[in-house]
Amino acid sequence: MDNTKTTEVSGAGEHYLLARKRRRRRNLLVLAGIAVAAAVGGWYWYQSRETVAEDQPLIVTIGYGDIENTIAAAGKLEPSRIVDVGAQVSGQLQRLYVDVGDHVEEGQLLAEIDARVQANRVRASEASIDGLRSQVQARQAALDLARQNAERQERLWRENATSELEYQNALNNYASAKASLEQLIAQIQQNEASLETEKTQLEYTQIRAPLSGTVVDVLLTEGVTLNANQSTPTILRIADLSTMTVKTEISEADIGRIHEGMDVYFTTLGGGQRRWYSKLEQILPSPTSENNVVLYPGLFDIDNADGALRSGMTTQVYFVTSAAYDVLTVPLGALTFNDAPSRGAAGRMAAGPGAQGGVAGGRTGAFPQGGFPRGDFPRGEGAPELPAGPFRGPGGDGGPAEFAARGGFGGAIAGGFAGRPALDDAEPARRTATVRVVHDDGTIEEREIVVGVTSRVAAEVVSGLEPGDRVIAGIVQADAPAPATGNNNDFRDRGFRGPPNMRFF
């Protein structure tokens, strides 16, 4: 009996020891798995940590281009000549020969009015004149007879063969016959003038084009009765669309820098990059006021032979205050002006709405392939395609490849300049500035140059640089990598944190 109990106790102890060993082995495996997971997570975090890249200088190759300083204003297109064609006589509008959009030539028949009344008046006047002309011969014969009798009485009077009374009666009859004939002739002339008026009234029943142009509006239809006695009814409108007039509104802040005869160009919403060039012809002296802003109307004509311009189009007008075409140019960001250091590239980046435009300009690339545009620098996404120019960003002519994606410093410059007035007439004709020239061996030379016309983004090189020279125009900001997936930021800042219900053995 005792031996049996001892054997049972020994068996239970061995079973307990085996179970304890298995539990310890399982815990060791769990801890080993946690250690392996921690090692893998640490390696993953180490591989995905951010690498800080350094900024690079923006190197630009000097070349030829155009520089413009402009003052912008809104405008609207109008036909140079527009005529309301009306009726000068009363009557029913019988026929209308044209419709809206038809091109007509000067003198072309447009419409007809019932002409029976006017035609009857013409015939009546002609008959009256014919009757008066038939009386002329009788009165001319009576005048001839009176003249002969007067001459005979004069001879007898000289020979004392007639009385003075007979002589005076003969003279009186002659004068009366002459006056009667002259009165009849005057009456005929008066009736002839009335006849011309009646014929003119008859011609007015046929409406003809007063000028060559396009029918832009038809106001009345056939069958309408016109009453021209009280007011002139307008039948249709004709406009000469071969030459258009741009009416622009110039603010009082800019009127001092704008004068008649200066170069001007404009663009339209649907015209893409096309520009129409002309010269300012007139500034009207009578201003208008909108929202407490005083505006002076400016007018100039533009040829529209191809018919691309239409009446009522909205235009963006640019008055060219200073310009230089096909000249050696350098980015303004590369210049440090010697006469005004605070007005260098960094000092010119004014705060305000323009600076915000620089951020957008940086996204799209402020110095894209094709170079600087003529006129204001485009900002923001959706900017129009730029014309070819001398300044190029990535590849070929110099400049880091990162600049193509971000725009970098050039975008900030373009936006910053938009926040300050244009550098135009107020600046001296020529100024000295310092640039940093990059040689082929990588060395950098500070060189003094002379610049002429200066815009918001570029300056004319008068002397000191040659085509092909490379200059530092700013700094290209390094790209920051996108944040890694997962909770790396939390792990780096606050340590690893698992789910709340995770248990550690």
Close Cβ partners of 34 (under 8 Å, ≥ 6 residues apart): 504, 505
Q: What is the pLDDT of residue 82?
A: 92
Strand residue runs (E) in 412-488: 431-438, 444-454, 458-463, 470-476
Token code pair at residue 181 = 């004939």
> Cα dihedral angle (119, 125, 130, 136), rounded to 10 degrees?
-170
Per the listing, tokens 């056939």 go with 222
Alpha-carbon distances, residue 236 vs 84, 203, 215, 218, 244 (angstroms): 6, 18, 7, 4, 20
Strand residue runs (E) in 12-98: 56-61, 63-86, 91-96
Distance of alpha carbon 198 from its chain centroid, rounded?
Answer: 51
The helix (H) or strand (E) run that includes residue 268 is strand 263-268
Alpha-carbon distances, residue 482 vs 66, 411, 486 (angstroms): 39, 21, 12
Alpha-carbon distance of 427 to 251, in angstroms, equals 21
Token code pair at residue 404 = 């193509």
DSSP, res 333: G
Per the listing, tokens 């405008």 go with 75
Alpha-carbon distance of 496 to 504, in angstroms, equals 13
Phi and psi of 318, rounded to 5°?
Answer: -125, 120
Q: What is the pLDDT of residue 230?
A: 75
Question: Residue 456, SS3?
Answer: coil
Alpha-carbon distance of 302 to 242, in angstroms, equals 9
Question: Count of CB atoms within 10 A of residue 201's CB?
Answer: 18
The per-residue pLDDT string of the chain (505 residues; one tens digit each, 9 = 90 and over) reads 455 444 454 555 666 677 777 777 777 777 777 877 777 777 776 665 555 567 788 899 999 999 999 999 999 999 999 999 999 999 999 999 999 999 999 999 999 999 999 999 999 999 999 989 888 988 898 899 999 999 988 888 888 888 888 888 989 999 999 999 999 999 999 999 999 999 999 999 999 999 999 999 999 999 999 888 878 889 999 999 999 999 999 999 999 999 999 999 999 998 888 999 999 999 999 999 988 899 999 999 999 999 899 999 999 999 999 999 999 999 998 999 987 544 433 333 333 333 333 333 333 333 333 333 333 333 333 333 333 333 333 333 333 333 333 333 333 333 333 333 333 444 446 889 999 999 989 899 999 999 999 988 899 999 999 999 999 988 877 665 544 444 444 433 434 344 444 333 3
Total-model pTM:
0.57
As a whole number of Å, the CA-based R_g of the chain is: 49
Token code pair at residue 364 = 């799209």
Alpha-carbon distances, residue 273 vs 195, 199, 305 (angstroms): 60, 55, 19
Q: By C-alpha distance, which of 389, 387, 382 is closest to 364?
A: 382
